[in-house]
């Protein structure tokens, strides 16, 4: 086994390790989204960005070795397939997290709209002539 093969194999193993870590991080991200822990989520997003950058660098290193004419060993094929499966899992988890964020935003929008409707009922209104008129503040109370 040549040293270049060992390097490619170690690079692919490193990629599998990083993708495994990303999958676990995405699972944790979903938990934080669900529990609405904003500060923890922001720290996790920084960690996720660094991990994605590392994965991108490893991809570039593997691609460079392959471009140099490096052939795959059987172990490299296995690691590549494992990395592809992990990548598919990460893509799926990302979609799930995106849906969770969207659902959370919809709930917040709905809550905001309810609050605005409530305020509108209690706020100042105008009569037919455009003159200010108190809302439903009760009898004897004017705005």
pLDDT in tens, 68-126: 877 778 999 999 999 999 999 999 999 999 998 888 777 778 788 878 777 766 666 67
Number of domains in the chain: 1
pLDDT the model gives residue 118: 74
**Does the reported pTM lie above 0.75?**
no
Residue 62, domain member (yes or no): yes
Parent domain of 54: 3-125
CB 113 within 8 A of CB 46: no
Long-range pairs of 36-39 with CB within 8 A, sequence gap ≥ 24: 36/104
CB 88 within 8 A of CB 26: no
DSSP label of 71: P
- Residue 46 CA to chain centroid, in angstroms? 11
Residue closest to 81 by CA, chosen among 19, 6, 143, 7: 19
Look at residue 141 and tell me whether its pLDDT is greater than 70.
Answer: no
CATH number of domain containing 93: 1.20.58
pLDDT band at 6 (very low <50, low <70, confident <90, very high): very low
Residue 133, domain member (yes or no): no
């Amino acid at each position: 086994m040549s040293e270049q093969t060992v390097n490619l194999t170690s690079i692919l193993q490193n990629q599998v390790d990083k993708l495994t870590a990303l999958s676990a991080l995405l699972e944790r991200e979903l938990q934080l989204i669900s529990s609405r822990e904003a500060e923890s989520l922001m720290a996790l997003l920084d960690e996720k960005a660094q991990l994605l950058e590392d994965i991108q660098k490893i991809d570039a290193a593997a691609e460079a070795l392959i471009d140099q004419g490096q052939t795959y060993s059987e172990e490299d094929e296995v690691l590549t397939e494992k990395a592809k499966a992990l990548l598919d899992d990460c893509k799926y988890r990302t979609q799930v997290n995106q849906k969770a964020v969207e659902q959370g935003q919809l709930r917040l929008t709905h809550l905001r709209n309810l609050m605005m409707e409530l305020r509108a009922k209690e706020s100042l209104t105008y009569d037919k002539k455009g003159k200010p008129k108190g809302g439903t503040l009760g009898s004897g109370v004017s705005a």
